[in-house]
Structure 1
Amino acid sequence: MQPTALPTKPHYPILDGLRGVAALMVVAFHLCEAHATSHLDQLINHGYLAVDFFFLLSGFVVGYAYDDRWSRMTVGGFFRRRLVRLQPLVVLGMVIGAIFYYFQESALWPAIAQTPPWKVLLVMLIGCLTIPVPLSLDVRGWHETFPLNGPGWSLFFEYVANVLYATVVRRFSNVALGILVVLSAGLLLHLGVTSPEGDVIGGWSLEPRQLHVGFARMLYPFFAGLLLFRLARLGSVSNAFGWCSLLVVVVLAMPRIGSPAHLWQNGLYDALSIIIVFPGIIFLAASGAVHSAWSQRLCRFLGDISYPIYITHYPLIYTYTAWVATNKVPLRNGWPVAALVFVAAVAIAYASLKFYDEPVRAWLKRKVLADGSEAGKKAVAAAVK
């Protein structure tokens, strides 16, 4: 039996644009992180919260795209669609990570020089399947579940969220979903104010505490995004893209809150940003519209590169961080190279989108998603555009 081709739905262009703004902030955050001595003096201090913003966006968009389609779609069909959307770039990110790996030798990762190529290839192949690697295969030494491309951890939790949604949570009434969201908010708030580091950073290791962080950072924003989609009565907001972009940048660039003696204050900022501010931004963005052709092109471009830049930029960050650490480069001297890396990350993302991701997804959609009818072919053609 062929999968049923579902009609495509229009995007929220401002949400697409905001995803790109947050992705660019992630790159800038990671470049500045290479020069920080601790979380306390990190420039663009809260850039890590972009991951939580992505989870919330994802929950909202998944609800919009699929909540009313379950009468025509199986769980297997849902998973196929999500795999087609997400997995090609996961594979590419791991391949890029393996290619860059041996250019990242430094005192930060002394194991690199001794790691045999077969082990790197094994870690790459496991990573291409989005399976977290055990500590015995941690070729970098940072206890990462995806040591060739660190951001893979959030894609793993994205898949976990999708599994929970498709198998259980989609059946929840709004009341039941609201209870789940409130409980998850409590878990996230507890994480923020009790964190030994005073933030919600983490989730990329199989260690029990890191798994706790990862689940706390995924559960609330993803399912709060789903609840927001179900309950929101959108209004009309003027200049929504500009104001919402500014809010995203301000939240992510905010300096560290509180002193080293009061770390809980920064953790509270993190939790409240995720619980209150991010849903508000998404509500405002979904209530807005873009009218000029220039704004539409900008939002489309930012949305198009958002996922490619997120999943391909980190091998460049490893390499830049190794260069900074080896040569002890301060930011005031390293910013020209950092700017070059930033531009390179955008260029690689765009090339990955146009020459790999879009063609591969188009091929996969023809093979595994469309039915044999003329309507199915048209749906696939529309989805690829």
Structure 2
Amino acid sequence: MTKPQTETLKPKQHFEILDGLRGIAAVAIVIFHFMEIVHPPKENFISHGFLAVDFFFCLSGFVIAYAYHDRIGKMKITDFFKLRLIRLHPLVVFGSVLGLLAFLFDPFGGNPESYQIGKVILIFLASVFLIPFPVMADRYFNIFGLNAPGWSLFWEYIANIFYALFLYKLSRRSLFLLTVFAAIGICFVSHRAGGSLMGGWSGETFWDGCARISYSFLAGMIIYRSNWIIKSKLGFIGLSILLLATFVMPFSDWNWLTEPIVVLLYFPLLIVLGAGATLAPGFKKICVFFGQISYPLYMTHYAVMWIFANYYTKYKPDTTQLTFIVIIGTILLVGIAYLTMNFYDTPVRKYLTNRRKKV
């Protein structure tokens, strides 16, 4: 590892390794969601998979700053919001539809008949428009009961709004001070929650999500604005191992220390390393693929998790069966994400982009 070098990022440079790491994080969170249904945290081999969301937030801050810092002052704020909606919202809608179908037609259980039609419609609309609505008691009062990962997209949208309104205007010093305050917020949330940063997804832990996006998004912005790059020979495989190590980190009484360290220091360091790493030609296609399916996978997988939870409760499969289900299920979900990207997300975004240009 060499000392940090201050460089100007090349125009239109694409960070394939960071794309690949985003895909690795998305797969890890799918496996985490399978396993948390079966095992309590201390028995879950990927018990810190939920920290992938904090990695997403930090990477998002870096990517948004990289993509828009030099041009957002020259564009209408409405154009920025339209671009972000086109990029993000088609899959918000698609994930909500999948969640509704899984809720209504789950072959292994669930109780849709206990909900009035009007309430189901409200829950669905709240999911489509990302309006927090934690009313499903049988789904642990998830902010978005039909598509649980929507909670992080809600905060992603909030971060984008603040970025367009004033964050991009801040000096690096002001940005740094704001990030320090956000870091204090992370430590406070961890302490209040008994040492874990797992919150943000439920009505009870709603504001934990604010703390998590605030620090990580700002940290990602600072990485870009400061042009921090650490040159190394780690490459995609080395960085993937370093990222995965955080997800399989044991769930212990030391979480109050280890989780904030990972979020406050380790993830930003990985992005600094990833931005400066050299990608071996043989891994380019893998990184591009993982980068492309990461968001579709994240936004489409949770409908299957509710079905799996009901299956597990009903049939109590043994360890061998569970291993087979999780491995095959993860592969199938990656395949579904790939199909969703090709036959829904990409065409819809292309259509909306063309419509925007004609207006």
Q: Which runs of 5+ in 2 are unaligned?
A: 1-10
Cα deviations by residue, 1:183-205 (Å, 9 ceiling, x for unpaired): 11111012223323x31111123
* 1:312 counterpart (289, 295, 300): 300
Q: Which runs of 5+ in 1 are unaligned?
A: 1-7, 259-264, 373-385
Q: Which moved more, 1:168-177 or 1:332-341?
A: 332-341
Is 2:255 aligned against 1:266? Answer: yes
Pairwise CA RMSD of aligned residues?
Answer: 1.9
Is 2:234 aligned against 1:256? Answer: no
Q: 1:106 to 1:189 in 2, by over 3 A?
A: farther
**Structure 1 position 49, deviation (Å):** 0.2
Counterpart of 1:95 in structure 2 is 97
Q: How does 1:146-295 map to 2 (within 5 A)?
A: 146-196=144-194, 198-207=195-204, 210-258=205-253, 265-292=254-281, 294-295=282-283
Secondary structure of the residue aligned to 2:46 is: coil
Q: Percent identity?
A: 36
Is 2:9 aligned against 1:12? Answer: no
What TM-score does the superposition give when structure 1 sets the normalisation length? 0.86
Alignment check: 8 A CA contact 2:32 2:47 kept: yes
Counterpart of 1:361 in structure 2 is 349
**Structure 1 position 120, deviation (Å):** 2.8
**Structure 1 position 333, deviation (Å):** 3.1
Query: Which amino acid letter does the alignment assign opposite residue 348 of structure 2?
Result: V
Is 2:123 aligned against 1:126? Answer: no
Alignment check: 8 A CA contact 1:22 1:50 kept: yes
Secondary structure of the residue aligned to 2:75 is: coil
Secondary structure of the residue aligned to 1:86 is: helix
Query: Which amino acid letter does the alignment assign opposite residue 36 of structure 2?
Result: E
Alignment check: 8 A CA contact 1:23 1:310 kept: yes
Secondary structure of the residue aligned to 1:71 is: helix
**Structure 1 position 235, deviation (Å):** 4.3
Alignment check: 8 A CA contact 1:120 1:139 kept: no
Query: Which amino acid letter does the alignment assign opposite residue 305 of structure 1?
Result: I
2: CA distance, partners of 1:94 / 1:115: 17
| Equivalences, count | 349
Alignment check: 8 A CA contact 2:72 2:164 kept: no
Q: Which moved more, 1:146-155 or 1:337-346?
A: 337-346
Alignment check: 8 A CA contact 2:108 2:307 kept: no
Alignment check: 8 A CA contact 2:54 2:216 kept: yes
Counterpart of 1:30 in structure 2 is 33
Cα deviations by residue, 1:69-110 (Å, 9 ceiling, x for unpaired): 023212111111100000000000000111111344778x5x
Secondary structure of the residue aligned to 1:199 is: coil
Alignment check: 8 A CA contact 1:132 1:145 kept: yes
Q: Which moved more, 1:78-87 or 1:340-349?
A: 340-349
* 1:62 counterpart (58, 61, 64): 64
Alignment check: 8 A CA contact 1:52 1:274 kept: yes
Q: How does 1:312-351 map to 2 (within 5 A)?
A: 312-351=300-339
Q: Which moved more, 1:94-103 or 1:77-86?
A: 94-103
**Structure 1 position 285, deviation (Å):** 0.4
Counterpart of 1:115 in structure 2 is 115
Counterpart of 2:4 in structure 1 is none
Alignment check: 8 A CA contact 2:134 2:144 kept: no
2: CA distance, partners of 1:130 / 1:331: 37
**Structure 1 position 329, deviation (Å):** 2.7
**Structure 1 position 330, deviation (Å):** 4.0
Counterpart of 1:52 in structure 2 is 54
Q: Which moved more, 1:233-242 or 1:55-64?
A: 233-242
Secondary structure of the residue aligned to 2:38 is: coil
2: CA distance, partners of 1:318 / 1:101: 8
Secondary structure of the residue aligned to 2:197 is: coil
What TM-score does the superposition give when structure 2 sets the normalisation length? 0.92
